[in-house]
């Protein structure tokens, strides 16, 4: 039987939209983290491993960031086994919550592990004091060196401070360098045997430790005895010129009684170096006499008899008729220095005991008798670091065989306050060479009576 004719169906071909610009769904991942141990000491290496598991087929790549308490430790790439590992030494002392974060890729989503807990305690240390091989004399500088090392399994060099001790007394503190060493220079220990050690001060990362005790014997230096029984020894040389009376000295010092009792020191906590004027009676006689000639950086030992110290009355903790030991060091001295200038703008120096010169105005040349005279103006300044004080009145004095041929206008302080000026006028009363002298007394310790000649010729 013939079949019924069917209508032809309309075939609609499929259409495809381009993928460009569309976001594809990424496959999920799961990240897990494990540690080699649940506890360690500070700076002990701890192996932390992260494993990222993909939830779909594909090539898993990318990086993992390790964090401790939310702070990044390091970011590392995954290996072929989908793992990353770090040997962490920087975990902080305390409880550390460690996580690993897979940072995702174009085909896999990011994921964060569950935190694992790790406990870090302070590391232990060993402190060693370098061998004391010197046999120092009183006041001699001795350098003490301590080394602080971490004990295994800690690996990082400790930071912090070391205390140096004489018995139980702290004599100095120093900061450890990057190699774990600290040095301290000591020169104030008294005569006798001292028990020296070094102690590392505990920090949040490392526990305290103390070195073995070593004996240090301080002996008396060879002394020079001066008039009045004062004894002096230089145990460390200085540089430059020696101090003279009238200069302002800045000193560090430590004073002892003969039984070793320390009665005073400028090096005590909260103290500062001592300033005084040498030779002015501001200190005991033993100092005024025993510090003459001392140079900057020089360290001396003074043994001062009672007559040059505090005598039969004593003072404070110093008993009557006490012999005193002092270790003294000159840090600096301030001194006044009188300078004189003449000529144009006072630019040409006039030196002490200088012969007359035309350039600085001390040689007035030839002037007719009875004429109005030649005038020179001079400036007085201070080239030192201590106040300059004039010690006579008037400040500038005119004298000499022919002083009447010169007219001195008294010195006055310039409005700037930085210098003083005075004027000399040559008015010859007779023919021939006329000579006089200018003297400026001051507290300049090297030239307390600064003077120079002035000369002119009457025609």
Please tell me the distance from the alpha carbon of residue 60 to that of residue 262, in angstroms, as a whole number. Answer: 76
Please tell me the distance from the alpha carbon of residue 293 to that of residue 234, in angstroms, as a whole number. Answer: 11
Contacts of 22 (CB under 8 A, 6+ apart): none
Please pick, among 164, 310, 325, 422, the residue that the annotation labels catalytic: 310
The reply to whether 288 belongs to the active site is no
H or E element that contains 87: strand 83-88
**Three-state DSSP class for residue 102:** strand
302-328: burial string, b at 16+ Cβ within 10 Å, e else = bbbbbebbbeeeeeeebeeebbbbbbb
Please pick, among 141, 166, 171, 263, the residue that the annotation labels catalytic: 263
Please tell me the distance from the alpha carbon of residue 345 to that of residue 376, in angstroms, as a whole number. Answer: 11
In which residue are the tokens 């200018």 written? 438
**Three-state DSSP class for residue 85:** strand
Residue 412, judged by CB atoms within 10 A of its CB (0-12, 13-18, 19+), counts as exposed
202 to 126, 144, 199, 207, 231: CA distances (angstroms): 12, 20, 9, 5, 45
Please tell me the distance from the alpha carbon of residue 382 to that of residue 168, in angstroms, as a whole number. Answer: 50
Please pick, among 102, 326, 406, 419, the residue that the annotation labels catalytic: 326
The DSSP-derived string for 5-36 is PPPPPPPPPP-----TTPPPPPBPEEEEEEES
Please tell me the distance from the alpha carbon of residue 148 to that of residue 161, in angstroms, as a whole number. Answer: 10
Please pick, among 253, 422, 450, 452, the residue that the annotation labels catalytic: 253
The reply to whether 263 belongs to the active site is yes
Please pick, among 101, 284, 294, 327, the residue that the annotation labels catalytic: 284
H or E element that contains 175: strand 169-175
**Three-state DSSP class for residue 98:** strand
The reply to whether 206 belongs to the active site is no
What single-letter DSSP state applies at residue 322? -
Encoded tokens for 265: 């020191």
The reply to whether 364 belongs to the active site is no
**Three-state DSSP class for residue 73:** strand
Encoded tokens for 126: 């060993």
Which residues are the active-site residues?
253, 263-264, 284, 310, 326
């Amino acid at each position: 039987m013939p079949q019924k004719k069917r209508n032809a169906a309309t075939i609609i071909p499929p259409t495809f939209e381009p993928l460009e610009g569309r976001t594809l769904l990424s496959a999920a991942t799961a990240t897990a983290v494990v540690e080699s141990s649940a506890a360690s000491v500070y700076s002990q290496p701890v192996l932390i491993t992260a494993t990222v598991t993909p939830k779909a087929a594909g090539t898993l790549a990318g990086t993992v960031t390790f964090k401790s308490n939310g702070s990044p430790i390091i970011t590392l790439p995954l290996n072929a086994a989908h793992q990353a590992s770090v040997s962490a030494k920087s975990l902080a002392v305390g409880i550390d919550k460690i996580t690993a974060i897979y940072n995702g890729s174009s085909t896999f989503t990011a994921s964060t592990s569950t935190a694992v807990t790790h406990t870090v305690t302070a590391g232990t240390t060993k402190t060693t004091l370098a061998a004391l091989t010197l046999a120092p004399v009183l006041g001699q500088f001795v350098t003490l060196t301590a080394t602080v090392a971490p004990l295994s399994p800690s690996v990082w060099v400790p930071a912090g401070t070391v205390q140096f001790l004489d018995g139980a007394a702290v004599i100095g503190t120093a900061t450890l360098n990057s190699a774990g060493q600290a040095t301290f220079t000591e020169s104030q220990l008294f005569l006798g045997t001292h028990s020296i050690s070094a102690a590392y001060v505990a920090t949040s990362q490392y526990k305290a430790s103390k070195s073995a005790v070593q004996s240090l014997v301080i002996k008396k230096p060879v002394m020079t005895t001066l008039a009045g029984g004062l004894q002096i020894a230089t145990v460390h040389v200085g540089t430059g010129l020696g101090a003279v009376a009238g200069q302002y000295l800045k000193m560090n010092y430590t004073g002892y009684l003969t039984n070793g009792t320390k009665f005073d020191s400028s090096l005590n906590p909260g103290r500062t170096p001592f300033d005084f004027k040498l030779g002015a009676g501001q200190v005991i006689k033993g100092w005024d006499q025993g510090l003459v000639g001392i140079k900057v950086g020089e360290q001396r030992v003074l043994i001062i008899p009672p007559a040059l110290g505090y005598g039969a009355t004593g003072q404070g903790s110093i008993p009557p008729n006490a012999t005193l030991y002092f270790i003294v060091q000159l840090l600096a001295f301030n001194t006044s220095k009188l300078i004189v200038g003449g000529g144009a703008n006072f630019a040409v120096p006039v030196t002490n005991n200088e012969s007359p010169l035309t350039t600085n105005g001390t040689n007035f040349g030839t002037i007719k008798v009875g004429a109005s005279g030649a005038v020179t103006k001079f400036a007085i300044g201070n080239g030192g670091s201590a106040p300059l004080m004039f010690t006579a009145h008037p400040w500038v004095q005119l004298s000499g065989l022919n002083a009447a041929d010169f007219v001195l206008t008294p010195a006055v302080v310039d409005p700037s306050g930085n210098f003083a000026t005075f004027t000399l006028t040559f008015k010859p009363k007779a023919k021939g060479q006329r000579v006089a002298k200018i003297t400026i007394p001051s507290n300049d310790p090297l030239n307390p009576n600064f003077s120079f000649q002035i000369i002119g010729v009457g025609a």
